[in-house]
Amino acid sequence: MKQLHKQSSANHTPSTQTTPPYSPKTLKHPRSLPRSINYILKEQRLLFILVGILIGSTFFIIQPTLSRLSPSDSHSSIPRSFSLSNRESLSNPYQVSKNYGDANKAVARIPVGIGRKRLRIVVTGGAGFVGSHLVDKLLARGDDVIVIDNFFTGRKENVMHHFGNPRFELIRHDVVEPILLEVDQIYHLACPASPVHYKYNPVKTIISLTNVMGTLNMLGLAKRIGAKFLLTSTSEVYGDPLEHPQKETYWGHVNPIGVRSCYDEGKRTAETLTMDYHRGAGVEVRIARIFNTYGPRMCLDDGRVVSNFVAQAIRKQPLTVYGDGKQTRSFQYVSDLVDGLVALMEGEHVGPFNLGNPGEFTMLELAEVVKETIDSSATIEFKPNTADDPHKRKPDISKAKELLNWEPKKSLREGLPLMVADFRNRILNDDEGKGNK
């Protein structure tokens, strides 16, 4: 019993555990260099970094030298490609389709960030006479172009050579209806500009195309998206002028109830709307007052004097002179006008600016130039003058010379043969002129 009691007592006695004495963690010796620098210095990592820097520097030094030594693809060829494309597209429109692809290749060789910013531009009336030449120039310089046209006076044939160009888009649309686009610039050319066309439906001319709805819709678009807007107005805002030559400060002498007033007053109202949007809504606008223009792609029978004379001479018909033939006009070639429109849009001045050739010709003098160019045996037929026909028309372009650095370069005798070649090709091939021979 004693042994059991002693054994149980021994079992209940707590065991004594030996706890090792506290030993604090040994402190590391402080390093003399930060960990990142120490990491770089170990295992020759610094050497590899220096070698990498040397290789990269060598590449950036040698690469420009190699590009200068590359044969035939030097950057100096790019301006020549563009200037050739411009000249061919403006002077001979039927060669554009062969060359715009080369211009695209030239653009592709320009390193990113070096060239000018590519703009997205809409041209209303872009399938028309002036509009199609403007489209040629804008595409040739590398912009994206959207053409809006209802084909009342425009022709698909004027822009067909761009159908394979990814930077070109054609929309059949009447500007009397609103349209939503995202663009940087708006060239508003949509309007019938010849007497035959704008007198065909004078109410539509003044209300929709020229004046209220068309210009209003394009100005509204410019306001919403912050685009720059250019209005192509006309020398007709001066009416039958009492000032000669006409300056932009001249307010005009217009018959508000005459047969031409749908066009004259319509364009005057379009200028008013444009300036009101500029002053009231802060829209950046430009206004061009275009004087008589001629060149390839004009409508064959639009009633304008140059196209009338050329078409009649080719068809062996008498040249029709209205009145005594002493009324004067000034004629600019279409490429000069296009250069002026682009200079105005890219400039800093609102306008209005006269864009025309100050060389002045009577109708009889013009008829003689046409005869010299086409058929010296052509005859002249006199008819009564039309109502409200201006007696004199000549632009004062001193403002455009000073502020836009622009003036026309091609004389009538230089430009007329280019137009004659186009008209002869279309008339002899029954294009548009069928039934008028």
Distance (Å, whole) CA 99 – CA 85: 6
* CA 378 from centre of chain: 40
Count of helices and strands (H, E) across the chain: 15, 13
Q: Which residues pair with 145 in a beta bridge?
A: 121, 168
Q: Which helix (H) or strand (E) holds 324?
A: none
* Annotated active-site residue in 238, 263, 277, 294: 263
The Cα-based distances of 306 to 149, 293, 313, 335, 342 in angstroms read 24, 9, 11, 16, 24
- Token readout for 165 is 């160009």
Residues 6 or more apart in contact with residue 173 via CB below 8 angstroms: 148, 149, 150, 179
Distance (Å, whole) CA 10 – CA 217: 109
Which of 326, 322, 324, 294 shows the shortest CA–CA distance to 310? 294
22 among known catalytic residues: no
Q: What is the DSSP string of 146-160?
A: EEEE--SS--GGGTG
Distance (Å, whole) CA 125 – CA 145: 12
Which of 198, 118, 94, 191 shows the shortest CA–CA distance to 148? 191
Q: In this structure, what is the dihedral angle of CA atoms 304, 154, 167, 290, given to the nearest 10 degrees?
A: 30
Distance (Å, whole) CA 8 – CA 75: 107
Which of 82, 78, 90, 89 shows the shortest CA–CA distance to 409? 90
Catalytic site positions: 263
